[in-house]
Structure 1
Amino acid sequence: MPVFNLNLHYFRKVTKLVGPFGLTNALSLIHSFALYWSMTRLSVNINKIATIRNARGGNNPDLVRVALDCERFGAQGITVHPRPDERHIRYQDVLDLSPVVTTEFNIEGNPDDRFIELVKRVKPAQVTLVPDAPDAITSNAGWDTVRHADHLRRLVDTFKADGIRVSIFVDADEKMVDGAKAVGTDRIELYTEPYAAAFATDREAAVAPFVRAAQRAHELGLGLNAGHDLSLDNLRFFNERVPNLDEVSIGHALISDALYYGLENTIQMYLRELA
């Protein structure tokens, strides 16, 4: 939480600037913005919306409209994960979303040649590198950042040259965090499925490796994201225990909850878990 030091000169300048709005109200507004920017941010993964659309063809539900609604309802980012077979997000969807998404646009995926070309064309706020096989139902492991160091370093350099923030999907392993730092990434995204699977049995044991990985990332100056199987059941505990968490990317659970609670209400529910 930022600390605002008001010396006399600054006090007079602020008073003059705020005028009839009032210093108390102005400082309250600044405080609200500071709280907003310090909280863990929610990026909504809209792949499942594309899955529903593709089941019948056509453009219902409209992916662009859903993305804009997610932003309007409070999401601080939109995530898409195009795969080579385009079984949910299509490459054209990414091109359609790029000019209209006003929050952080995050494109994640396995960095094959077509994916690299797409990301360099769109230039999103963030690219998340995920080592998923083309036939994988969903992401199921993080990168071995030591074994694939040379490959990852080339990718990081390629995307950063275009001004794109790079995040690498990793398991909650301090060695993998060290490896991510060594290849020059800006952030890591912790693969949270093991946490979600063990949460009901022993939540403290489940979260412990993520706490250690997060602490190591902070020591190294890496930004920290997390995602996979986070839900209303386990999100608050994870957010409270894992330090310096910048962003969570949530899709399957959030869209499933929206079937019952509605999209706007569901996004607000997730934001409250992160407050």
Structure 2
Amino acid sequence: MKNIFLNVFVLLSFNGTFFSQNSKSADSSIQKKIEKLEEFEKKASKIKVTGWVQAQFQIAESRGQNSYDGGNFATGQFDRFMIRRGRVKFTYSQNLSQYVLQMNATERGVNLVEIFAKVTDPWTKSVSLTSGVMNRPFGFEIQQSSADRETPERSRYVQMLLPNERDLGVMSTFQPLKGKKLFGLKLEAGIFSGNGIYVPGTGSTGTTGNTTAAGLIDTDNFKDIMARLREKKLDCRKSGRIYREKSSENIFCR
């Protein structure tokens, strides 16, 4: 009887040890999988995908009427449905660099809208260099996204001087961080090919009209130099005067 009890006790002890080891092994395996998922999530969080669509119905005053960025009407046509913009944008951001690719897809075709790389200096983090196809540093309208604008098209002077807003070139930006001197100041300056980009089916063909599937070809030695200075130091409120708080160095406009 004692031998039977001893054998049963040893068997139970062995099984308990076996299950304990299996449990620890399973916990370790689960922990490794969790760590891999967390690592993947950390990498994936650096990638941002956005997109939007603008659909239009247009009626013209005459058949075959000419247009600007929206594209001319076909011969004999005075009304039409169209996808004005169908955008998909991919942004990959790290601490000191950013990479952007944006495409436009409509019933007229697919074209490249933006593709650029931006790097920031690791010391002051106030100076950055951007190269590729990007918005030109000019005025306020160019910088504002078509998804946020209150009207379908930009003003006529922008459509004529800077068709499709973007161009191929290189740009430097100076923008001090919060808490640093000159915070609120943003200076952008760049050199661009001057040909703009080409959007299928629109009236914007730049200055040369020579195109590829990606856009316009730079066919001359002329370049555009552009710069933009912005200051955001004033806190503007509803009224019409500027004053300084007694207990603060802040300046407000009302």
TM-score bucket (shorter structure):
under 0.3
Normalized per residue, which structure has more helix?
A: 1
Structure with the bigger percentage of strand: 2
More RCO (CA 8 Å, sep 6+): 1
What is the TM-score when the length of structure 1 is the normalising length? 0.21
